[in-house]
Amino acid sequence: MNTQFNKGVIEMCVLALVSQRDYYGYELVETISKRIEISEGTIYPILRRLTVEKYFETYLTESSEGPPRKYYRMTDLGRQETKKLLLSWQKFSEDVNFIIKGGSST
Amino acid sequence: MTQKEFIFQLRLQLAGLPTAEVDDIIRDQEEFIRDACAAGRTEESVVAALGTPADLARNLKAEIKIENAEEKIFKATEEKHLSEQMKGVFGAVGAVLVLAPFNLIFVLGPFTALMGVLFGGWVTAVTLALVAIVLMIVFFGYLVFVPGGGILYIAMLFGFLALLAAGCFMLGLMYMVTQFVVKMILGYLRWNISFIKKNLE
């Protein structure tokens, strides 16, 4: 699959998931890779960038089975941007589907 | 590759980044491998799925360098005084240069040329103003020793004043031109980074 396309899509999936509830890294990879084939190494650079860009905040939680886990929580800024992104994705996918199905008129 | 080898290699490849940053990245990777193993996968397969340490390190380093350059550009934009902005521009150009080899041509070349032109303009402006001032000092000193009058002296005085005015005008002009050039360079650097980002993804 086209990697450029893939990376943007993964980023959107990550944003959509974390906007619903707090996630930790492996959980995100697991959830996304159930439906989409991803290279697992790409997730952490994305999470790091979204944190630097202040879309996410992180916090550590003690886990019962060993060292603490890092959770990602969405900020207000992240929420705003995700909303915009998902809206434009919706429009985009509707348009693409329309064209694929053979539509040509407005 | 085992987890130990992977982490060791990654640490080597990340050399040069701040220690806190490296520790954080390593911590994340260890947590990921631990969680994946807890989910029933073998250590080998988890590590293999992460890709090579070199690839991961290159991706992360590229991102960190871009963030660094973006921060420098932002800081330069925020500076109030032109001289501080100029200093910021030099820092930002340096940070953008290391992002991609082709920036030696697309950034360093034009930047050096622009700086040359600006420098030439400022030197000319300062020289004009200084020459006018020196001439006037000499002129008035001469008047003291050889008091006289006449239309010639007044003409000379006006000539010097015109020269001084030209110098000052050029200084003001250079100030505005420099402001414009700084803005233009920062705008171009921002565009340059967004181009590099698109090609990274």
pLDDT tens digits for B130-165? Answer: 999 998 888 887 766 655 667 777 888 888 899 999
Q: What is the CA radius of gyration of chain A?
A: 16
Q: What are phi and psi of A56, to 5 degrees?
A: -120, 150
Cα of B20 to nearest chain A Cα, Å: 14
Question: How would you write B113-167 as a 3-class SS string?
Answer: HHHHHHHHHHHHHHHHHHHHHHHHHHHHHHHHHCCCCCHHHHHHHHHHHHHHHHH
> How many residues belong to chain A?
106
Q: Considering only CA atoms, which of A57, A45, A53, A51 is closest in space to residue A7? A: A45
pLDDT digits (tens, 9 = 90+) for B73-98: 999 999 989 999 999 999 999 999 98
Q: What is the ipTM of this complex?
A: 0.83
Q: Which helix (H) or strand (E) holds B188?
A: helix B151-200
> What are the chain A neighbours of B59 within 8 Å (beta carbons)?
41-42, 45
CA distance A4 to A1: 9
pLDDT digits (tens, 9 = 90+) for A14-48: 999 999 999 999 999 999 988 888 888 888 889 99
> What are the chain A neighbours of B198 within 8 Å (beta carbons)?
4
Chain B, residues 141-170, CB within 8 A of chain A, namely none
Q: What angle do CA A58, B13, A41 make, to 5 degrees?
A: 50
- The chain B residue lying nearest A38, using CA atoms, is B49
**Are the CB atoms for A41 and B55 separated by under 8 Å?**
yes
* Residues A26, B50: C-beta atoms closer than 8 Å: no
> What are the chain B neighbours of A49 within 8 Å (beta carbons)?
63
Look at residue B144 in the predicted model and tell me its pLDDT.
61
* Model confidence at A106: pLDDT above 60: no
Residue B154 identity (one-letter amino acid):
I
- The chain B residue lying nearest A5, using CA atoms, is B201
> What DSSP character marks residue A41?
G
What are the residues whose beta carbons fall under 8 Å from the beta carbon of B33, sequence distance 6 or more?
Answer: B3, B6, B43, B46, B47, B50
Residues of A near B (CB-CB distance < 8 A)? 3-4, 7-8, 24-27, 29-30, 39-42, 44-45, 47-49, 52, 65-67, 69-70
Question: How would you write B25-43 as a 3-class SS string?
Answer: HHHHHHHHHHHHHHCCCCH
* Residues A26, B31: C-beta atoms closer than 8 Å: yes
pLDDT digits (tens, 9 = 90+) for B20-69: 989 999 999 999 999 999 889 999 999 998 889 998 898 888 888 898 89
Interface test with B, best of A24, A31, A48 (most B CBs within 10 A): A48
CA distance A2 to B196: 18
- The chain A residue lying nearest B49, using CA atoms, is A40
Nearest to A48 among B30, B39, B63 (CB): B63
The pTM is what? 0.72
